[in-house]
Chain A
């Protein structure tokens, strides 16, 4: 695969994260290459979300280094990472509940919009209107792509779960990230919604050119759409590689997929 020859878009070197006596992550090293769909799997409490939080800036690793496109972002402020090119969705929905879907997605354009509050107040005179119109068109492309036109003006907090997940994806896409972090994008969805979501993830990877770093529990989906997979267990990275390689890994079978015979009973994708 040519993907691996390029310089990694995200490189984590020996990331450790401790909360008092709890070791959430222990010397995790991963690298994600541009254009990949990279999945992190692991049992509950393995540190998957902690790792994503370190990348997105929610947590600051106790030790180690995170490079994004060669730039050290380990201690970079959370709100500056959007402009660097990192976007994310949350495991437990984190939409702006009282805003409309459209406004939610427009918030994603925040770092791309340049007009401040004075220009905003003057609206017609300060150039804010022209800017809003331009970005509205971009946002509408995302709305079309994710097929949420019908709820454009709905209040985000009142939408059903599956749609809210999709709006959150739209908001993250609006950031125009080069790396998009998806924390359990398919949790709590039915089969049809999962299929839709898998298609969106593949399309945003292939057509929109976003590198995907995804946490997901649905093994079928993970094995189907990921280029590479990393397995975390008790805060350690125990395996990385293509889905086939990871599935065949002895440690992974023991630590994550349970007993050997159970794995044998499952059709390997």
Chain B
């Protein structure tokens, strides 16, 4: 019933009791994890640098190659980063406040186009990214105003309308999105240094992820974060506690849109091209999938859900590639249909998740930790 803390972990001040991480070891582990992530692009960078200089012994190169996850691997991590930020926004709305949105991809798109559009008007990309977050917040609040009055299915339909309205806007507003041709943009630069490759852009995303996740974690342990959860758990008594329901429901929409906008902007400057077709309803549902698989109402779960949604198709694709042309393929005459296998498996896994782990990856992770904490005396 009470939270599990290791033996001997005594808090002697309220400050220590209210810390971001449960124990000192958790904090160390997270810091170490971030530090390790920060080291990831280095082998690749060093190899390139030395190759250009020409003077790299083969043995060093071989050694570095072991730790080099390559541009593809870094690209996946970058995707997890910006999708994770947007998923966190949706989780604040759906998981923490108990509101629903099936238009999240549209807001993600607003962020992407805003940032590209602002950059075309001469602002540096690193300024455009937060600004596009704010622009998306404004759009989100406009569409979120009905959220102050609506709940459940009604709100779902209202946000579905937002999805289609915004998508239609993308297709027509040539000045903003470049119309059907899409809009090209540039990578961020700082003091003449361009973050134009995976190895460098990775750091931009890493900094954004750390900032956004710490901000969300802080929010949830202070007044307004608690108010959001109170609105979800029991809105009548929340009102009696002095919480303005309409304000907090709208605020939640605003925050969710801000996160979606930042995620979208990071996406735009990574691909350096934004197409109007990308932000469809399927993508919105995918965001909901990330939040549910990761764990509703869990901050770290948002990142886990994004990682899952990015990595799973890769794994299935690898599996499909392995059986392509093989006996199974020939026996079942899969042929070109093999590429659909990916979508089917992803769908099946989501269903299985909902049945067997409705609380998401974050919950599973807690169970695993609890198991190892007690091992081998778990009974």
Contact = CB atoms under 8 A, between A and B. Distances in A.
Nearest to B215: A121
B233 A97 contact: yes
Contact of A94 (B219, B227, B237): B237
Given A56-B240, A80-B242, A95 B18 contact: no
Contact of A96 (B3, B18, B237, B255): B237
Interface string B222-238: 11111101101110111
Interface string B39-77: 000000000000000000000000000000000000000
Interface in B207-227: 215-216, 218-219, 221-227
Contact of A82 (B222, B229, B240): B240
A113 B223 contact: yes
A153 interface: yes
Contacts of A100: 3
B14 interface: yes
A133 B222 contact: no
A59 B234 CA distance: 17
B222 A128 contact: yes
A79 B243 contact: yes
Interface residues of B, number: 35
A115 interface: yes
Contacts of A121: 215-216, 218-219
B25 interface: no
Nearest to B236: A94
A175 B243 CA distance: 12
Given A98-B233, A151-B1, A115 B222 contact: yes
Contacts of B215: 121-122
Interface stretch (A13-21, A103-111, A190-198): A103-111
A83 B233 contact: no
A151 B1 CA distance: 8
A2 B134 CA distance: 59
A116 interface: yes
By DSSP majority rule, is chain B's interface helix, strand, loop, or mixed? helix
B18 to A, nearest CB: 6
> Is the interface on chain A under 10, 10 to 19, 20 to 34, or 35 or more residues?
35 or more
A155 B366 CA distance: 15
Nearest to A114: B223
A137 B14 contact: yes
Given A117-B219, A120-B218, A78 B229 contact: no
A82 B242 contact: yes
B337 interface: no
A83 B244 CA distance: 12
Which of B227, B229, B239 gathers most chain A CB within 10 Å? Answer: B239
Contacts of B251: 117
Contacts of A159: 1
Contacts of B15: 129, 133
B2 interface: yes
Contacts, number: 127
B226 A106 contact: yes
B242 A122 contact: no
B332 interface: no
Given A79-B243, A80-B242, A111-B242, A120 B223 contact: yes
A116 B224 contact: yes
Contacts of A113: 222-223
Contacts of B233: 95-99
A79 B226 contact: no
A79 B236 CA distance: 10
B85 interface: no
Nearest to A181: B240
A158 B1 contact: yes
Nearest to A87: B240
A65 interface: no
Interface string B268-291: 000000000000000000000000
Contacts of B221: 120, 123, 132
A171 B242 CA distance: 12
Contacts of A140: 14
Contact of A107 (B1, B18, B230): B230
A78 B237 CA distance: 10
A193 B248 CA distance: 36
A106 B218 CA distance: 15
B192 to A, nearest CB: 30
B248 to A, nearest CB: 9
A154 interface: yes
Which of B221, B223, B233 gathers most chain A CB within 10 Å? Answer: B223
21 contacts: A58-B240, A81-B240, A94-B236, A95-B233, A95-B234, A96-B230, A96-B237, A99-B226, A99-B229, A107-B241, A108-B241, A110-B241, A115-B223, A117-B255, A122-B215, A123-B222, A129-B18, A151-B1, A151-B2, A155-B1, A158-B1
Interface of B: 1-3, 14-15, 18, 215-216, 218-219, 221-227, 229-230, 232-234, 236-245, 251, 255, 297
Given A82-B240, A95-B234, A158-B1, 12 more contacts: A78-B239, A79-B239, A79-B242, A87-B240, A96-B238, A110-B227, A113-B222, A117-B222, A121-B216, A122-B218, A129-B18, A154-B2
Q: Across chains A and B, which 3 residue pairs bring their CB atoms closest together, nearest first?
A: A82-B242, A120-B222, A111-B242
